[in-house]
A and B are shown apart, each in its own frame.
Chain A
Amino acid sequence: MSALGHSLRAARVPHHESLTRRAQAQLVLPVMGLGAWALGVSQIAPSSIGDYGLLASANPFLILGFVAVIGGFVLELARHAPRGWLLTLDLIALIVMVQATVPIVFGGTPEYAWVYKHVGIISSFAHYGRITDPGNIYDQWPALFAAVASISSLAHVNAITFAAWAPLAFELADALLLLAIFRLLTDDRRVPYLAVALYVGLIAWVGQDYLSPQAFAFMLWLAMALVILRWLRAAAPTSPEGRIAKLRASLATDLAPVPKTTRAQRIVALLLVIAIYFVIVAAHQLTPYVILAGIGALTVLDLLRPRWLLALLAVIAAAYLLPRYGLISGNFGGLFSGGNPIQNASGARGTYHAGGEAFTARIVHLLAAGMWLLALAAVVARRRALGRVLIPALLAFSPFVILGAQSYGGEAIYRVYLFSAPWCALLIAGLLLETRRPRRLPIRWAVTAIVCIATLLAGLQGLYGPVAVNAFTSSELNASQWLYGHAQRGSLIVLPDENFPTLQAADYNSYDLQVMPSDPQLGESWLDEANLPEVKSWIESLGNQTAYLVVSRSMNSYARYFGAPRGYEKLVTEIPSALGGSVVYHNPDTTIYRLTAD
């Protein structure tokens, strides 16, 4: 025994030490990463962030923090038996780091000017308890705003105080639902975790998770998808008859088995799907139709039951839309306004594409192209067992149908990306991890780490690149609140560009807010702001005796970043003399002038 025993012990000890060392690295790296991130964040001043964004302005600890957390995550994935709790903690840490950075740096003020409009609707609901502005599209799709108004009213807290944290909350909820969905679609324990990590990076730049109906509707769609995939999947026919059944049988080779369900469970699941879908319909204009595309694809291939569910959901969507169709046609030119998919996929128009804006745009274009190409590669790699990727592939590419009908004010392509990303993440994760060829194993984890880090950094550049434009300081918010607190109702508020927190007050529609028609991104752009007599005459044409004109740090950043509106710099320097304005409010980031008609 002794010779064998000694040799066994000798063989075991180094192995044990190696395991311990690796386990420590998996635990220590994320903790170090969080520490480095915290240090990095603490040293960022909003005023130091330039046109290339937060990553370019931050010290290296910020980026090192992200890399360390990803490193620990991939090391844990590479273990023989990865620990679910540790992978979950890594993912939570990653999401917190991605989504909490901007709120911390900017003192908890919400990012994006349009979030303040949403806060205005919420405040209006909480204050008046009814629809006050029926012509406003937000009032007619009130589900999210009403829910947040309930929370705000119950807590006696204005939504502006917690709106900045909505992206973090939505991303955590999305990650939880995605983890559950991905576990239904793969039997590999690692793939769901990796897919969620990839999703966090892929989705970061698209900026659809702020306090908004689409973020809420997207989260509910994930819940709907989970219910459908868990309880409403159709079993494969034993002897397929008919064209669709045969097509499905050929596509569904190696399809994961349908989870066992009872009739009662399926009825409850059906009721849940209908209830969730109705709330989505009442929350957001576009999401119900993207969902119909996904459910339509599953129904055509007979992957879900009952088949009439698709028709019922379509009826719900149409019944809600019809009485409000005038608003849709007014805002987006009708349901099928743009039959040109290429144009609908071109995104926002009128940007100058120079400097930091061009750099960030290039990065996210590469990220989007890479995502869809890798997802396609995953489908091709599984061509002999398409069933393994059939459901994610259908859900990843069905959102493109929307581009055939709508540009959604230039935003359709972003929504397509949003709805496609989770399923692409799953396909890519499968491509990276499900290889069974031993020769490829040694480089698999290195490739996985590189893909994760590259995806995350590209997504972060997309998210943090325009942060000097999209985020607002507390001084700017204070100025806006002063304006709504002091300007008389009915006053004219003039903005040289749209990038300022406005409309967040409950009585937002008691003020006449006008943005100068000088920014090609907003449509009409005939006015040159450097032509001060023309600006003066435009303001006078609005017909108010008194106007408040606001200029701010965020407007300066916007003008520098996008190269629009035209003539903004001259306007800012010459307002008092040329327009006869007097300063009524000033802080380090904002000046408000009162202009009085001659």
Chain B
Amino acid sequence: MSARTQLTAYAGLASSTLAVALVLGAPTSWLRLIGALLLACVPVGAAVMCWIDAGENAAQAGLTLAVSLTVVALASAIMIWLSSWQPRALFVLAGAAAISCVLRLRVARPAGGGR
């Protein structure tokens, strides 16, 4: 596991948690907006990109962003097409992203729990 994918996994984990916390618990609309934007822009992409090293920091960050937005747009469009609008269902994506990132970090840890 490269340092880049490890960092991506940590970013995915942190952003999933922070985004859900901000959307659910932030006292101001601007903080909630930051949470919602974070949810749309990072966790899902990090969940994918923590398994693939793009070989370069800008590529890793750019693809994390683009993959996240792709999946969030697809999920949102499906909700519109099915006329079952539940934006909070996107929290499931954040949860799945966190699981993927944790798995990636566990897989990368050497047998015996490391040093």
Given A143-B77, A146-B76, A156-B32, verify A129-B59 contact (CB < 8 Å). no
Contacts A216-B73, A226-B66, A272-B63 supplied; 15 other A-B pairs, CB < 8 Å: A129-B83, A142-B77, A143-B77, A146-B79, A150-B87, A151-B33, A153-B87, A155-B32, A155-B35, A156-B29, A157-B29, A180-B54, A183-B58, A230-B59, A282-B77
Is A268 in contact with chain B by the CB < 8 A criterion? Answer: yes
Given A180-B56, A272-B48, A279-B70, verify A155-B80 contact (CB < 8 Å). no
Q: List 28 A-B contacts (CB under 8 A).
A: A129-B80, A129-B85, A130-B80, A130-B85, A142-B80, A142-B81, A147-B76, A149-B80, A150-B36, A151-B39, A156-B29, A162-B33, A173-B66, A176-B58, A180-B54, A183-B59, A219-B66, A220-B69, A220-B70, A223-B65, A227-B63, A230-B59, A259-B55, A272-B63, A272-B67, A275-B71, A275-B74, A282-B74
Chain B 72-112 against A: per-residue CB contact (8 Å), 1 yes, 0 no? 11111101110111011010000000000000000000000
Cβ of A154 and Cβ of B67 under 8 Å apart? no
- Name the B residues within 8 Å of A282 (CB-CB): 73-74, 77
- Name the B residues within 8 Å of A151 (CB-CB): 33, 36-37, 39-40
Cβ of B74 and Cβ of A131 under 8 Å apart? no
A296 → chain B, closest Cβ, in Å?
A: 22
Identify the closest chain A residue to B78 (Cβ). Answer: A146
Is B23 in contact with chain A by the CB < 8 A criterion? Answer: yes
Q: Could you say which of B32, B37, B73, B75 contacts A144, with CB atoms under 8 Å apart? A: B73
Cβ of A226 and Cβ of B40 under 8 Å apart? no
B56 → chain A, closest Cβ, in Å?
A: 6
A323 → chain B, closest Cβ, in Å?
A: 12
Is B52 in contact with chain A by the CB < 8 A criterion? Answer: yes
Is B61 in contact with chain A by the CB < 8 A criterion? Answer: yes
A184 → chain B, closest Cβ, in Å?
A: 8
* Complex A-B, nearest 4 residue pairs according to Cβ-Cβ distance, in ascending order: A129-B85, A223-B66, A146-B76, A180-B59
Binding site for B on A (CB under 8 A): 125-126, 128-131, 142-144, 146-147, 149-157, 162, 173, 176-177, 179-180, 183-184, 216, 219-220, 222-223, 226-227, 230, 259, 265, 268, 272, 275-276, 278-279, 282-283
B43 → chain A, closest Cβ, in Å?
A: 13
- Name the A residues within 8 Å of B81 (CB-CB): 131, 142
- In Å, the complex CA distance between A222 and B48 comes to 18
- Name the A residues within 8 Å of B61 (CB-CB): 176
Binding site for A on B (CB under 8 A): 23, 29-30, 32-33, 35-37, 39-40, 48, 51-52, 54-56, 58-59, 61-63, 65-67, 69-77, 79-81, 83-85, 87-88, 90
Cβ of A154 and Cβ of B87 under 8 Å apart? yes
- In Å, the complex CA distance between A276 and B56 comes to 20
B100 → chain A, closest Cβ, in Å?
A: 13
Across chains A and B, the number of contacting residue pairs, with CB separation under 8 Å, is 147
- Name the B residues within 8 Å of A162 (CB-CB): 33
- In Å, the complex CA distance between A259 and B69 comes to 26
Q: Could you say which of A143, A150, A177 contacts B40, with CB atoms under 8 Å apart? A: A150
Cβ of A276 and Cβ of B66 under 8 Å apart? yes
- In Å, the complex CA distance between A155 and B61 comes to 24
- Name the A residues within 8 Å of B23 (CB-CB): 154-155
- In Å, the complex CA distance between A283 and B70 comes to 10
A352 → chain B, closest Cβ, in Å?
A: 40
- Name the A residues within 8 Å of B62 (CB-CB): 173, 176-177, 179-180, 222-223, 226
B79 → chain A, closest Cβ, in Å?
A: 7
- In Å, the complex CA distance between A54 and B73 comes to 35
Given A147-B40, A180-B54, A223-B62, verify A130-B83 contact (CB < 8 Å). yes
